[in-house]
Structure 1
Amino acid sequence: MSLRDVALRVLPARLRPLALKHRELLKFGVVGSVAYLVDNGTWYLLKLTVLEPKPVVAKAIGVILATIVSYILNREWSFDTRGGRERHHEAALFFAISGASLFFYTAPLYVSRYVFDLEQPHVSALSQEVADFLFGSIVGTVIAMVFRWWAFKKWVFPTADARAPRRDRKLGKLVPYTGPTGVVDHTPSKN
């Protein structure tokens, strides 16, 4: 039994069709959760050690590492049937959009620290950490996530059903697959 089957069995019956309909968004959310852990784990590790005086730089490094993880997981799992571009073009667009979203990740933290002065000695250490978490981890992540979801579907993976599902490519199954042209292709995708 696959993980997907287990997850669907746990859901109430009336939510299953909704989960199947929005599976791409749900997968994107899971990938985002993994990237969130990589981002924040790296950020806190750096900002509480070697980059203590530079929390925005530490956040940027965490976002960059999380972006690399995100590309691999999104391409191979979240958007496994989407495509429409050559891989190098797709990767370049993914990282360009992720680079642009770096602004959305770090701007709220910058505003918190340097516009609202929510840093020591203006506030307590606890207040600084709470503000950093709220602005850097919550507000920035939500804004960037909405932007990335929209941009990835629009520019990076624009064509739905451009590739056979990953499980069919992996197994080398000869499954009837209707590509973006609408023509049935009986060979596994080589992507």
Structure 2
Amino acid sequence: MSVVDSVLTRIPQTYHDVAIRYRELLKFGAVGAITFFIDTAIFYALKWTVLVPKPVTAKVFAVLVATIVSYILNREWAFRTRGGRERHHEASLYFLVSGIAVGLYAAPLWISRYVLHLQTPYTGRLVQEIADFTSGQIIGLLLGMAFRWWAFRRWVFPDDARQQRGDSRTVRTERTPAG
């Protein structure tokens, strides 16, 4: 029995059907939670040490590391029943979509720091840290994750090869762990 199946057996029946229906989204969210902690830890480790004057660079580096971990987890767990592309093609699309998402993750922090000037000496240190967290870790994360969810399902991990060609009339059955 997989970890997901053991968790699903413990969910009350009223939520069980919803969890089954949105299983893929819940897995994507779990991957997002894991990579959020990776991103946050790396961002603040760099921002408070070697990249003090360059918080946007720290954010971009943190997102890149989290993206690599995210690809592995999404490919092998969240979207394992989807695909149909060769691995190198899929990985190229994944990192292209994620590269666009890096811009969405970093844009609110850039706006906060360099357009709104929510940084020292224009504001206090506490305001700067709250603005950095809100813009970089909340707003940027939400923008990037919404875009990635849509783009991954549309282009990177489509339902099957026919959907890649634009034929959405096909219904795909879920693969078993062995197949």
TM-score (norm 2): 0.89
1:162 offset after TM fit, Å?
Answer: 8.1
Residue equivalent to 2:63? 63
Distance 2:85 2:2 in 1: 30
Q: Which moved more, 1:155-164 or 1:51-60?
A: 155-164
Residue equivalent to 2:129? 129
Distance 1:3 1:88 in 2: 28
Residue equivalent to 1:164? 175
Residue equivalent to 2:33? 33
Distance 2:2 2:100 in 1: 36
Q: Deviations over 1:88-138 (max 9, x none)?
A: 000000000000111110000001011111000111111100100000000
1:12 offset after TM fit, Å?
Answer: 2.2
Preserved CA contact (<8 Å) 1:31 1:70: yes
Preserved CA contact (<8 Å) 1:105 1:143: yes
| Matching residue's letter, 1:158 | P
Matched position secondary structure for 2:8: helix
| Matching residue's letter, 2:85 | R
Preserved CA contact (<8 Å) 1:82 1:162: no
Residue equivalent to 2:23? 23
> Cα gap change, 1:163/1:7 in structure 2, threshold over 3 Å: closer, same or farther?
closer
Calculate the aligned-residue CA RMSD, in Å. Answer: 1.5
Residue equivalent to 1:14? 14
Distance 2:17 2:102 in 1: 34
Distance 1:127 1:162 in 2: 51
Aligned residues: 168
1:13 offset after TM fit, Å?
Answer: 1.3
Matched position secondary structure for 1:27: helix
Residue equivalent to 2:117? 117
Distance 1:76 1:5 in 2: 16
1:106 counterpart = 2:106: yes
Distance 2:117 2:60 in 1: 20
Unpaired stretches in structure 2, ≥5 consecutive residues: 161-171
Distance 2:122 2:8 in 1: 49
Q: Deviations over 1:22-54 (max 9, x none)?
A: 100000000011111111110000000000000
Unpaired stretches in structure 1, ≥5 consecutive residues: 169-187
Residue equivalent to 1:183? none
1:159 offset after TM fit, Å?
Answer: 2.1
Identity, in percent, stands at 52
Residue equivalent to 1:178? none
